[in-house]
Structure formats: C-alpha cells, structure tokens
Chain A
Amino acid sequence: MSTATRRWLTSAATRTVLWLVIAFILVPLVWMVSTSLKPAGYAQTIPPTWIFKPTFEHYVGVFKGEAATPFGPLLLHSAIVAISATAIAVALGLLAAYALARIPFRGKKFLAMWILSTIMFPPVVAVIPVFILAGRWGLMDTYPALIIPYVAFNLPIIIWTLRSSIRQIPEEIEEAALMDGLSRMGIIVRMVVPLAAPGIATAAILSMLLCWNEFLFAVSLTRSQVKTAPVGINEFTGMFGTQWGAMTAAATVIVAPVLLMALMLRRHLIEGLTLGAVK
C-alpha cells in the first residue's frame, strides 16, 4: 500500500472515529431536548418515537409549576447565587492573584501550594458543619449560606487562572506606574483589570459554570426561599413516576444558558482550562 493510500485510510478512519464520538456526545442531549418537545405519553414509547408533533406545553407547565414548584424562581435563585458568588470570588481572587504573581513575600510558595490544595477538600465534608451552623445561626435557606461556600470553591481556580493572566502583563508598565506614584490598589484597579480582562472573563465563566451546576450544597442548605435549579430538577420524580416531559424541559432550561455561554466564550474557556501551563 502506498503512503498516500495509507494516509488516506488513516485519515478516513480518524474522521469516522471523530464523528462517532461527536454522535456519542450529542445523543444524550438529543434525547433530552426531543423528549421535552414530545407530547405527553410519548416519552417512554417503544420503539422510540422519532416523528411527532413538537409541543411547548412542557416548557409552559414547568414555568407555571404544574408538575413541581414553578421553575422561574428557581432559575432566578440560581442566577443570583451564581452572579454574586462569581463577583465576590473574582474580586477577592484578583487581589490574591496579584499578590501571588507580583510581590515576593515570605510564605508565598507555601501559600500558593495551600490554596491549590484546597481544591481537593471534599465538599461533602465541608457541608456538615456548614449545615449545622447555618441552622444554628438562622442562615438556613438564605443566600449567604450558598454564596460563601461557592466563593470558597471557586477561589483556587480563579486565583490560579488570574495569576497566570497577570503574569503575562509586562512588569515594566507597572513599574512605570509605581514611579509615577500610583499605589498598588490603583495599579490593580486601573491597569491590571483592563489588561487582564480576558483572564478575568475566563475566571468568571468557570466560576459561573460551577455555581450554576452545583448540587450538594444547594440540596443541603436550601428549602424554598433560595432553592436553586439543580435541586428543583429532582422534584419531577414523585410517587407516581417521573414526569419526563416536564423534567427534560426543565433540564433543557437549566442547561441552555450555560451551554450558550460556553459556546460563545469557548476560546476563553479553553484558555482558562490550560491554567498557567501556557504562558
């Protein structure tokens, strides 16, 4: 076999594999969206129904609260928690990342390692004291009970991402600013933020993603006032079975915003994921 043929065959094989993989990735999502559009009663047919008249009744029902609590407020809670936690985490993380990136100080390496190591702290372990304390201090089912833990979960990644972003900014600019009498904080606010904006965007996206999808703390610490969407999705399974149409509609609604965001900002996402190995 000539090299050309071999190369063509390899290429064809890899292409096939690739598209098989793509299919594998898409199948669950296709199932989810298609079930949400099927009229009631078609969700569990055998053989699976591919031709059907799509309906939006499930989406309407989900927001009206027919099968479970109305989904609109849940999405709002999720949004509030995610945005607040992200804002706070990015702010705190930026300060810390700056210090870690620019300032030589005693204990820096230890601190960096420790911050990194907090990623491994299992949330299920942290949730127990938080659950007990939140109950005792009357913070159960309130926003702070979720926001503060989420900030803590996101900080390590945010700090790591921002640190590498900041390191990419030439130091001479800052030096010049310092000579001109700008304070550290001034530098951070006026110069680092605009220059590291892409990195900040990345960090924010990663954080939003994590907050939006978080389940354990949400299910343990919320009841009705701040119940978030991932908790609500479980409620479509009652004693009589699962309301598949409503559940998949709700699932699509949860997943859609984040999907869109991830798609639009995918370059940032990828950059963020490489986290400092790429300079």
Chain B
Amino acid sequence: MRGSPREPPHLSSERQTLARFVQILSLDTTKFDFYDDNLLRGEARRRGTGGPPSDDAIKGVPAMGYRDDRLVAILADGARRQLSRRGLLRTAAATAVAVPALAGMKGRRAAAAPARQDAAKPTSIKMLYATVEADVEAIKLMIPDFKAATGIDIELDSQPYDALQQRAFAELASESPFYDVMICDTPWTPALTGKLEPLSTYLTNPALNDIADLALEDFIPKVFYDTAVYNASAPNLQFPAQEAVDLAAIAAEGFDVFGLPLQSNALTLAYRKDLFENPAEMEAFKTQYGRDLAAPDTWDQFLEVAKFFTRPDQRLYGTTLMAGNGDWATDDFKTLLAAWGGNGYMIGDEFTIDFNGPEGIAALTYYADLINTHKVTPPGVTSFSWDTASSTFASGLTAMSMNYHSEVLNPGVEGEIAYALVPQQVTRGPHFGTWMLSVNKFGENKEWAYRTAAWFTSAASQIKMLQTQLHPSRASVYEAAKTDPGALAFGNFYEVLGQSLAVGVGRPRLTNYGAVDKEIWVAVNQAASGSKTPEEALAEAAEKVTALLKQEGYPVG
C-alpha cells in the first residue's frame, strides 16, 4: 500500500533539506554523492518530472529520519535555494564552520576520510555476529575457506542477542569504523538505514562480484524484500511484494538494498511423528474424530489434535505455546492474526492499528482458549519463551511445538520428529525474520566488506553451511537440501522451512518497534494468563501503541 511519501510531521521542507545538509556535511563527500543524487533522481522520476527536481518536487521529500535541530532553523534560508550538487557543496563549505560549532564535533568520526574508497585488499575483515540465533557455527565453519579463497582473515566477534544489539547500535551511533561487516536483525533495520551502506551500486558492479556468484534472483523474494530492502527516507515502508528480486524495481521505488540475507527463521510446526504414526493412536483418533490422524492443516484441526494428545496423567500435552513476556508472544499472535485474515504486520502502512479488529480478537481468543479453556498446553506456558518451548518439546512433554528451528529430542526420549507448515485459518502468514550481513557505512574496507558478505551468503557457501543447520535464504540451497544428508537428518524440516518462508510475514518497520512490541506481548500474555479478556487486552494495547507511535513522530492514521 503505497502513497505519497511520509513526511515527518514536525519538519518543514526547509528544515528537511537542511537536515539533510547537516547529515551530508558529516559524511564523506563520496557518500553524499550517491545518497543525494539517487534519492532526488528517484523522487523526481516518481513525480514525473524529468530533469533536476524543482523546489516543489524537493519539498515533499522526507528527511532521512533526521529530527528537527536548532541549527537547521538557523541555516534555513540560504541553502534551500541551492540544490544542485555544486550548490550543496558550496553551501556546505560555507556552513562547515558553523555546523561543527553548533552540532558538536564527534571525535570518533574520521575527519579525513579518503576521497575515494581504497580498493586495496585488507589483511583482515572484522565481522560482528550473533551466536546460536544466527548460527555462528556456520560462519566459523567457512572462515578457513574464505581465507583460502581470498587470503583475508575474518576477525569474528560473536555476541548474544542483547549485547549484540547494544553493540551494533552503539557502534553505529558513534559512527565507528571498527567493524566492516555487521549482522543485522530485521527489527533493528528501520532505525539503522542511515548507518548501513546501501548496496545497489555494489550489487551491479561486476568488479565487486568477482569472488562470489551473486545470483540475486536466487534469494527467496519475500525474504529478500522483507529483510534487506528499505526506503532510507521512509524506513517504515514495506516494499510491495514482487515475484522475484528486481533491482531496477527497487531503485524505481526509491528503495535500496541494505544487506544480504543469511539466516532465515520462520515459524514452523514440529510434531512427534512416532505418536502420529502409531497405529493405536491413529485408530483412537479416527474413532474419536472421524478422520485420519495427520499433521493439522487448519487451526480447527490443530485444536482437535492437541486435545487428543492432552493426557496430563501420562505427562503428555498437546502443544507448547510461547505466551511468556517477550517478543516471541507477539510473534505467536501475529501469526494467528495473519491466519485469521488480519494484517500480519499489525501496523498498517498508514500507521493504522490493525491488530485489535475482529480478526485480532478472534485470533487471540483462540490462542487464550487453547491455554485456559481447552487446556491443551503444559502448565507454565505463560512464561514460555523460545528456549523453554524448545526444551519442553525436547523432553517429550508435548506432541507438537511451534518454533523457529529444528528440534532434537532429549537422550532419554524415544521418538521421531517431523515438521509441517503452521496451520491456516483463512490463509497462512507465519511470522518470519531473517538476519542479514550488512556493510558498515563508516567502515574503511567497504568494497571488501561487501565481497565478504556476498561470499558468505552465496549459494555455494550456504550449501556447505547446511552442515551446521543454517536456515538458508536462497531457493537453490533448499533444492540442494533435498539431497544433502546433513539436512535430511532433520527429516522434512528444510522443505517445510522453505515453504514457510515463501508465505511468511515479517515485522512492521517502526523505529520504536521494541516499545510497540512490548505492549502487544503484554496484551497477549494477559489474555493467555486469563487476567484480561482478549478484547480488553487488545484494546488497551491499541491505545498504548497509538500513543507510542505519536510520541515517535509518526502520523497516526
């Protein structure tokens, strides 16, 4: 759903332009080259004017996530008129004296960045990465191969999630050149588009794609668009779904690519194949429900199967749910919301609250009923998170479980696991989120950083990474997984994962998603624990989220 560009409400056009100036001034001139011209060109094209954009055309272009600033107001008049590149530079030079004094010099920013990126090969590339969440073992596996192919060492810094986010944000906020390649999780990107290197020029430059086969069309389109394609000046916009990855279309809409996806996680359903294929169980189920026992395809079937397998005295329950306080609860909910036909992004492109309508209430009611009315979940499910759901399933306490990775049963539990797509109601929309490798905009080896990212995300690398159970982002790798013995050890997991990614729904692109996320998970948790009805909980969350969006400066619809 696209419309006119979002204008941060509190910025007038002069200020927007000037805000961009200030940003430009702090950047390397080469960077602003790409930034400004392409942006303006793209904008102008969209508005249908041919040549250099007129003042009117520029007026509507939103600032790049930059907020109002006192000094912007001071410089309002002079620079607004001069929007050609040379004019910008001239004005920039003139204001170069005033700006540092007012904005404050940032010591760590390289004052004398090289005029053009040095294409000399570095001896090492510094990479910031996650731990198990993004399968760091896969990276470690490939590091020797990378060294063999390029002679470059990878200095890997692996951090658990919270520390990783803080590190990434702190480094990028201070514009530190320390890391060359940084991993980025989807909820962070809206806030980071100004700090990550846009990769369109790199992707189309044959000289930079020499060590790895880029094969952009091989990326799963939905994954690619959801993870890496953003509009830097309006980071909240989702790119309209496309059949395939199309760089031209991306540029035409004013978007850009900010990384290459690697570990793709989607919600999948794991179930105890041994229980489902047990003849006694199958017969009992058929007798009771009149149909064959199989992995549920709809949520109604899911309820039946869960009820069938709920036998507390035998220490067996139907399924786990992740209703604890945390992002996982929101993800459970939005999956159901999408399945019921609602907007899986929960917040519309026009910043409408889309989660407390009839679909949302129906979805959350179903969820809460599973726990409180039908009681098909083990006790404690209202404090479950990814890890507890996983360990509970692994200990054999439940017949089914929904999670974002393949499962392994505990040594003492005899059984087999198979996977299926998360059920549908009127449609399917499992939550997904993918990690991507991005290039630090302030790094000193950006061309080689790009090559590194491209190499690690290439099909050849990802196929080898199946050994550590990587969740690939390329269609060809899923093909390869069909015959890869390591992948087959997990049954049909990769097949299901690939299918899930094709229909997955990501997160809304809000810079304050963390706070919004929290209000929603609180609502889910309250409904799940029975302390509020789903309507009440969602209504309250809607109020709070509206307030949060307003506070963040979004024009709430």
Contacts and interface: CB of A to CB of B under 8 A. Distances in A.
B208 to A, nearest CB: 31
Nearest to A227: B163
A40 B390 CA distance: 17
Given A220-B166, A223-B167, A239-B405, A138 B108 contact: yes
B170 A135 contact: yes
Contact of B387 (A40, A41, A223, A239): A239
Given A135-B174, A136-B174, A240 B166 contact: no
Interface in B336-385: none
A219 B408 CA distance: 31
Contact of B394 (A140, A220, A235, A241): A241
B176 to A, nearest CB: 9
Given A136-B108, A238-B387, 17 more contacts: A40-B411, A41-B411, A45-B412, A135-B170, A135-B174, A136-B107, A138-B108, A224-B159, A234-B160, A235-B131, A240-B390, A240-B405, A240-B407, A240-B408, A241-B390, A242-B387, A242-B391
B30 interface: no
Interface string A116-133: 000000000000000100
A16 interface: no
Given A44-B395, A136-B108, A240 B132 contact: yes
A132 to B, nearest CB: 9
Interface string A8-44: 0000000000000000000000000000000011001
10 nearest A-B residue pairs (beta carbon): A241-B391, A135-B170, A238-B132, A41-B411, A241-B387, A240-B390, A241-B390, A239-B132, A239-B386, A237-B387
A4 interface: no
Contacts of A136: 107-108, 174
B117 interface: no
18 contacts: A46-B315, A136-B107, A136-B108, A136-B174, A220-B166, A223-B157, A223-B159, A223-B163, A238-B131, A238-B132, A238-B387, A239-B132, A239-B390, A239-B404, A240-B387, A240-B390, A240-B405, A242-B387
A237 B390 CA distance: 11
Interface of B: 107-108, 131-133, 157, 159-160, 162-163, 166-167, 170, 173-174, 315, 386-388, 390-391, 394-395, 404-405, 407-408, 410-412
A140 B132 contact: no
A223 B159 CA distance: 7
A138 B411 CA distance: 46
Interface string A205-230: 00000000000000110011000000
A232 to B, nearest CB: 10
Nearest to A137: B107
A238 B161 CA distance: 10
Given A46-B315, A238-B131, A224 B157 contact: yes
A46 B408 CA distance: 20
B391 A240 contact: yes
Q: A41, A220, A241 — which one has the most chain B CB atoms within 10 A of its CB? A: A241
A242 B388 CA distance: 8
Interface of A: 40-41, 44-46, 131, 135-136, 138, 140, 219-220, 223-224, 234-235, 237-242
Q: A45, A219, A237 — which one has the most chain B CB atoms within 10 A of its CB? A: A237
A21 B160 CA distance: 38
A40 B108 CA distance: 48
Given A136-B107, A235-B160, A241 B388 contact: yes
B133 A240 contact: no
B394 A240 contact: yes
Contacts of B159: 223-224
A161 to B, nearest CB: 35
A242 B387 CA distance: 7
Contacts of B131: 235, 238
Contacts of B410: 41
Contacts of A242: 387, 391
A71 to B, nearest CB: 15
Contacts of A219: 162-163
Nearest to A135: B170
Nearest to B106: A136
A135 B175 CA distance: 11
Contacts of B162: 219
B227 to A, nearest CB: 19
Nearest to A220: B166
Contacts of B174: 135-136
A94 to B, nearest CB: 36
Nearest to B391: A241
B167 to A, nearest CB: 6
A45 B157 CA distance: 36
Contacts of B386: 239
Contacts of B315: 46
A219 B160 CA distance: 11
Nearest to B410: A41
A239 B133 CA distance: 7
A202 to B, nearest CB: 35
A41 B174 CA distance: 45
A182 B395 CA distance: 72
Contacts of B394: 240-241
A140 B170 CA distance: 9
Nearest to B413: A41
Contacts of B157: 223-224
A219 B162 CA distance: 9
Contacts of A240: 132, 387, 390-391, 394, 405, 407-408
Nearest to B159: A223
Nearest to A134: B170
Nearest to A241: B391
Nearest to B392: A241
A240 B407 CA distance: 8
Nearest to B133: A239
Nearest to A221: B166
Contacts of A239: 132-133, 386-387, 390, 404-405
A241 to B, nearest CB: 3
Contacts of A135: 170, 173-174
Contacts of B388: 241
Contacts of A238: 131-132, 387
Contacts of A45: 412
A247 to B, nearest CB: 12
A131 B395 CA distance: 40
Nearest to B157: A224
Contacts of A235: 131, 160
A136 B174 CA distance: 7
A213 B394 CA distance: 32
A240 B387 CA distance: 5
A250 to B, nearest CB: 15
Contacts of B387: 237-242
A235 B387 CA distance: 12
A131 B163 CA distance: 13
Contacts of A41: 410-412
A62 B159 CA distance: 18
Contacts of B412: 41, 45
A40 B410 CA distance: 10
Contacts of A140: 170
Nearest to A136: B174
